[in-house]
Structure 1
Amino acid sequence: MKKFFLLIILTSTLHVHSGYAQSKDPVVDNIVKEATENSQLEKLAHELMDVIGPRLVGSPQMMQAHEWAVAKYKGWNITAKNEKWGEWRGWERGVSHIDMIAPRVKSLEGMQLAWSPGTGGKPVTGDVIILPDVADSVALQKWLPSVKGKFVMISMNQPTGRPDYNWQEFATKESFEKMKKDRDAQTEAWTARMKKTGYTTRTLPPALEKAGAAGVVMSYWSKGFGANKIFGAYTKKVPTVDISLEDYGLLYRLAESGNTPKISVRADSKETGISQTFNTIGEIKGTEKPNEYVLLSAHFDSWDGGSGATDNGTGTIVMMEAMRILKKVYPNPKRTILVGHWGSEEQGLNGSRAFVEDHPEIVQNIQALFNQDNGTGRVVNLQGQGFVNSYDYLGRWLSHVPEAYKAGIETKFPGAPGGGGSDFASFVAAGAPAFSLSSLNWSYGTYTWHTNRDTYDKVVFDDVRTNAIIAAIMAYEASEDPAKTSRDKAILPANADGKPGTWPEQRKATRKGGLD
């Protein structure tokens, strides 16, 4: 495992590392110069995250993003196209407005889930009740008729809205331990409550809908101040809304104490029929080995609780900026450099899996793929994904990245092949040397991964700029390398059952989503 450490000093104007020493390669120097003196990252981020916004598969915003990316590439004289790979349920988010109207008036923080039915252009009002602690599924069936015209809360009421790090800083040890013990007990009790109904979190909402509920109310806390996960709805006719921990707790306590709360929900979403799904592919044609490929990779879609800023707007703009820089300072690469902006990663790597299925001639001739997906932080980890000789070529290419930009990157060879998690895994399963440029955390899992807080303000542009430099230099080095990369696979350790480890299997893309 290699570790690189260097004190990095940033200027306040050009974002240049003042400790940067020119390399022996003018292309590398020009990549750094273009990235630091003419960065387009802030502009790209604003246009993608603020103007277009989140990019839920099947939504008009997803199509708008694909068209925007093609126009950007063409403006940089890079060939680009949108390549269809499937179809998805079309849905467009509208305004969500949720108000408590009794026992007092308060506007609540919340939103409908993706693919939730709307309310027909008018508010729907009803009392709020809590899923009861029934004896068994038979008792639940007897209770179900009572939900008619009511909003049903199906999430546990969290005992605290303070993340654990806040408790650790300010609480006594005894108080912190007591809170955790009480929370564990409540979590266990709520899990048992759900189990006794005979339903799961996926099957309960349709059952409530069928029984005549006005809507389903939930709260999926992400364990950070104000952060909730926002995923998809399972109802077909009535709205499913997620309400912030703070406001969900208010409704829960009122319902529990007998001060029955009443809410008004207006959700203006609409179904838009069958939507075509695409990958955006950009290309800088190779001059000497045009049928060998270096591939830059990032998924384009997002959930739509926020604006998809760090998942995966940052990975997207890193690869767009790297392509822009390469076209400007390295316009005639030895190998063809492609960029793939994949659709429907969030539903199972579908865009990249489809590309692997549809383009075996490219996959079998990939020199290297570099994928970026886990947040706004600078790259700190690069592992060999189980390719036994990856230490040779990755180490060689990384050695040409100036110390100021590779500082802190840890490498692990040969590593283990990733079976999922992001789009590089689609290519690894097909035997192609594909690698994840893994990022520093920046509280990604808690605050921005699939949450209502994944927005432009969370982007750390100095880190993103460093990542664009790394991606561009690694692509350049992979293109120039005289040798074709080895695909020899490491012998994997035995699994938990003592059986020999196996390489991940290539899986088919879901090409018709949400249409059943």
Structure 2
Amino acid sequence: MKRISFLFLLIFTFQFHAGFSQSKDPVVENIVKEATENSQLEKLAHELMDVIGPRLVGSPQMQQAHEWAVAKYKGWNIVAKNEKWGEWRGWERGVSHIDMVAPRVKSLEGMQLAWSPGTGGKTVTADVTILPDVADSLAFQKWLPSAKGKFVMISMNQPTGRPDYNWQEFATKESFEKMKKDRDAQTEAWANRLKKSGYNARTLPLALEKAGAAGVVMSYWSKGFGANKIFGAYTKTIPTIDISLEDYGLLYRLSESGHTPKISVRADAKETGVSQTFNTIGEIKGSEKPNEYVILSAHFDSWDGGTGATDNGTGTIVMMEAMRILKKVYPNPKRTILVGHWGSEEQGLNGSRAFVEDHPEIVQNIQAVFNQDNGTGRVINLSGQGFLNSYEYLSRWLTKVPEHIKTPIESKFPGAPGAGGSDFASFVAAGAPAFSLSSLNWSYGTYTWHTNRDTYDKIVFDDVRSNAILAAIMAYQASEDPAKTSREKSVLPLNAKGEPGTWPEPRKATRRGGLD
């Protein structure tokens, strides 16, 4: 490895300069033409997000999505298969219906968490109580029996349902600062309340379950209007439900003021045993170097609070559309072009890690991996991921991309190797040149990342179309490049402790999720 003493930061203006050809390329022109005049993105998005829906690992919908993708590829004359890599706890979501029935009647916005036990086809009605503020864990143990037969609220009551940007726009500076100060104090107080119980967020629901609680009630606000994050339950026999900030606050205030609220919960869920887990792999075989690989990458699974539209339905349809276009206008690539739709990314990059473990013969001959996984926006960032010479080939390939798509892209070379976050990191850890096509924010972290609002209507198809064009052109250029890409790594800067930076190590996939 070569030592570098500076960080080479290059913002691509992509103007003509010596050494880069700007001549028209008929393949590039045909990629743009096909993507623009015959886009299949809306149809793919509808079929995947609206018809199939969310794709929680281990669910029947995940399997349905795998089968759908293979059928789509075969319809485009692309060889595709579902490759098994593990097993997962099978679970299927049913109806969640939550009503307040006292002191008045109101239907509440909420849903059970993934893998939550259901209510056995019945409606469970019980009083709601708040996790108490006790002196210590001994006092909490004395309180626990009183949780029997009740729904217990375990989340802090948020002081405002308005996101900070809304306060900044309309509140006085003094009012905004006071709200934040009060919120910080409440957040600290709630953390202490939980700590004094002797439990944490993972173990508390199990303790309440053991004490005979009717269910666990929480609210994981995503700091935006109407948006809550929906993850997985820890309970084994009683339901865990998430309720919107607005309705959670209502229950909290009623309980706190002595107007004991009562709720009725119907949560249908089905345990489906051991479910097989897959990656969907598509292939356009190389004509000259079939044993060298360009990989288009996107995770296929999602959480199931919404329909997984921007995490990662958009990345999925970008890569499907790019493969469809390439097969039509570039059917005989020099190198083999693969597409990987990975399973169980959300639980730790498991599908892509399994692929890396299972296919060393492919990993050692990867020309480039292009991964897209952070929302609906057009790509604006591309890092060299710590590969010393990545600027040379990535910048050369990018010159073929239309100006309006490449101009906003800021690229950092050599960058630092990603250790997680998305599936490109599985390949980077194995030393393969893999890159994240990182996109414009579109309030992703607040409104759609793992939330109940991650649905079809949040997709910005103009941006997604640009990304499909970018992915297809980069795959085409990587395939055509006469040279094999360099894997030489940069020497990483010292860490916070003054120790030499180290390259991330490959990590094993979890191949039996929720079963052991």
TM-score range, shorter chain: over 0.9
Asked if the contact 1:4/1:403 (under 8 Å) is kept, the reply is no
Aligned AA (1:428):
V
Residue 452 (structure 1) shift:
0.2
Q: CA deviation at 1:359?
A: 0.1
Q: Does 1:390 align with 2:390?
A: yes
Match of 2:435 in 1: 435
Q: Does the 8 Å CA contact 1:56/1:301 hold for their aligned counterparts?
A: yes
Gaps of 5+ in 1: 7-21
1:229–1:452 Cα contact (<8 Å) kept: yes
Q: How does 1:206-245 map to 2 (within 5 A)?
A: 206-245=206-245
Equivalent residue number for residue 3 of structure 1:
11
Judge which range, 85-94 or 398-407, deviates more.
398-407
Counterpart AA for 1:338? L
1:66-465 counterparts in 2 under 5 A?
A: 66-465=66-465
Aligned-pair identity in percent equals 88
Q: Residue by residue, what CA displacement relative to the aligned partner does 1:219-254 show, whole Å, maximum 9, x if unpaired?
A: 000000000000000000000000000000000000
> How far, CA to CA, are the matches of 1:5 and 1:293 in structure 2?
29
Cα distance in 2, alignment partners of residues 411 and 117 from structure 1: 46
Q: Please provide the CA RMSD for this pair.
A: 0.9
* Larger displacement relative to structure 2 (397-406 or 123-132): 397-406
Q: State whether residues 356 and 430 of structure 1, in contact with CA within 8 Å, keep that contact through their aligned partners in structure 2.
A: yes
Aligned equivalents of 1:511 and 1:26: distance in 2? Answer: 44
Amino acid of the structure 1 residue aligned with 2:495:
N
Q: CA deviation at 1:174?
A: 0.5
3-state SS in 1 of match to 2:411: strand
The one-letter amino acid of 1:504's match is P
Residue 12 of structure 2 contacts residue 411 of structure 2 at CA under 8 Å; is this kept in 1?
no
User: Matched residue of 1:95: which SS?
Assistant: strand
Q: Give the gaps of 5 or more residues in structure 2.
A: 1-8, 15-21
- How far residue 402 of structure 1 moved from its aligned partner, in angstroms, is 1.4
CA distance in 2, matches of 1:306, 1:252: 25
Per-residue CA deviation, residues 112-141 of structure 1 (Å, 9 max, x unaligned), is 000000001110010000000000000000
Tell whether 2:505 aligns with 1:505. yes
- What SS class does the counterpart of residue 11 from structure 2 fall into? coil
Contact 1:147–1:212 (CA under 8 A) maintained in structure 2: yes
Contact 1:90 1:273 in 2 (8 A): yes
What is the CA–CA distance in structure 1 between the aligned matches of 2:53 and 2:23, rounded to whole Å? Answer: 39
Q: Deviations over 1:14-46 (max 9, x none)?
A: xxxxxxxx9510000000000000000000000
Deviation string for 1:267-297 (max 9, x for gaps)?
0111000000000000000000000000000
| 1:132-174 CA distance string (max 9 Å, x none) | 0000000000000001110000000000000000000000001
Normalising to structure 1: TM-score of the pair?
A: 0.96
Aligned position for 1:56: 56
SS of structure 2 residue aligned to 1:312: helix
- Once the two structures are TM-superposed, the CA of residue 60 in structure 1 deviates from its matched residue by 0.2
2:41 partner amino acid: L
1:197 partner letter = S
The residue type equivalent to 2:513 in the other structure is G
> Counterpart of 1:325 in 2: which secondary structure?
helix
Amino acid at match of 1:421: G
The aligned amino acid for 1:424 is: F
Structure 1 residue 496 and structure 2 residue 496: aligned? yes
- The code of the aligned residue for 2:265 comes to V
Give 1:496 shift: 1.0
For 2:218 and 2:507, locate their aligned partners in 1 and report how far apart those are by CA, in whole Å.
33
3-state DSSP of counterpart to 1:494: coil
Q: Is residue 427–residue 434 contact of structure 2 (8 Å, CA) maintained in 1?
A: yes
In 2: Cα distance, 1:412 partner to 1:218 partner: 41
What residue number does 1:43 align with? 43
CA contact (8 A) 1:121 1:267 kept: yes
Amino acid at match of 2:98: I
Q: How far apart, in 1, do the equivalents of 2:344 and 2:358 lie?
A: 16
> 2:11, 2:432 → 1: CA distance?
26
Distance in 1 between the 2:108 and 2:491 partners?
55
- Retained in 1: the 8 A contact 2:297–2:372? yes
Letter in structure 2 aligned against 1:498? G
Q: Deviations over 1:446-468 (max 9, x none)?
A: 00000000000000000000000
Aligned partner of residue 66 in structure 1, secondary structure: helix
Q: Which letter does structure 1 place at the counterpart of 2:181? A: K
| Contact 1:70–1:280 under 8 Å retained in 2 | yes
Query: Which whole-Å CA distance do the structure 1 matches of 2:423 and 2:12 have between them?
Result: 27
Larger CA deviation: 399-408 vs 160-169: 399-408
- How many residues align? The count is 501
2:94 alignment partner, SS class: coil
> In the TM superposition, what is the alpha-carbon distance from 1:3 to its structure 2 partner?
3.5
Aligned mates of 2:13, 2:180 — CA distance in 1: 38
Structure 2 equivalent of residue 9 of structure 1: none
Matching residue's letter, 1:24: K
CA distance in 2, matches of 1:25, 1:234: 55
Q: Which one-letter code corresponds to 2:11 in the other structure?
A: K
After TM superposition, give the deviation of residue 404 of structure 1 in Å: 1.9
For residues 461-498 of structure 1, give each alpha carbon's deviation from its aligned partner in whole angstroms, at most 9, with x where no partner exists: 00000000000000000000000000000000011111
In 1, the alpha carbon distance for the partners of 2:150 and 2:298 equals: 43
Whether the 8 Å contact between 1:23 and 1:29 is mirrored in structure 2 is no
Q: Distance in 1 between matches of 2:385 and 2:45?
A: 30
Partner of 2:483: 483
Q: Distance in 1 between matches of 2:128 and 2:515?
A: 31
> Is the contact between residue 41 and residue 465 of structure 1 (CA under 8 Å) also seen in structure 2?
yes
Q: Are the aligned partners of 2:10 and 2:413 in contact in 1 as well (CA < 8 Å)?
A: no
- Determine if contact 2:42/2:461 at 8 Å carries over to the other structure: yes
Deviation at residue 407 of structure 1 after TM alignment: 2.1
Q: Secondary structure at the match of 1:265?
A: strand
Give distance in 1, aligned partners of 2:140 and 2:150: 16
Distance 2:82 2:331 in 1: 22
Shift of 1:400: 1.1
Q: CA deviation at 1:198?
A: 0.5
Contact 1:116 1:269 in 2 (8 A): yes
TM-score, length-scaled by structure 2: 0.96
Aligned to 2:17: none
Which stretches of structure 1, 4 residues or more, deviate above 2 A after TM superposition? Answer: 1-6
Amino acid at match of 2:341: H
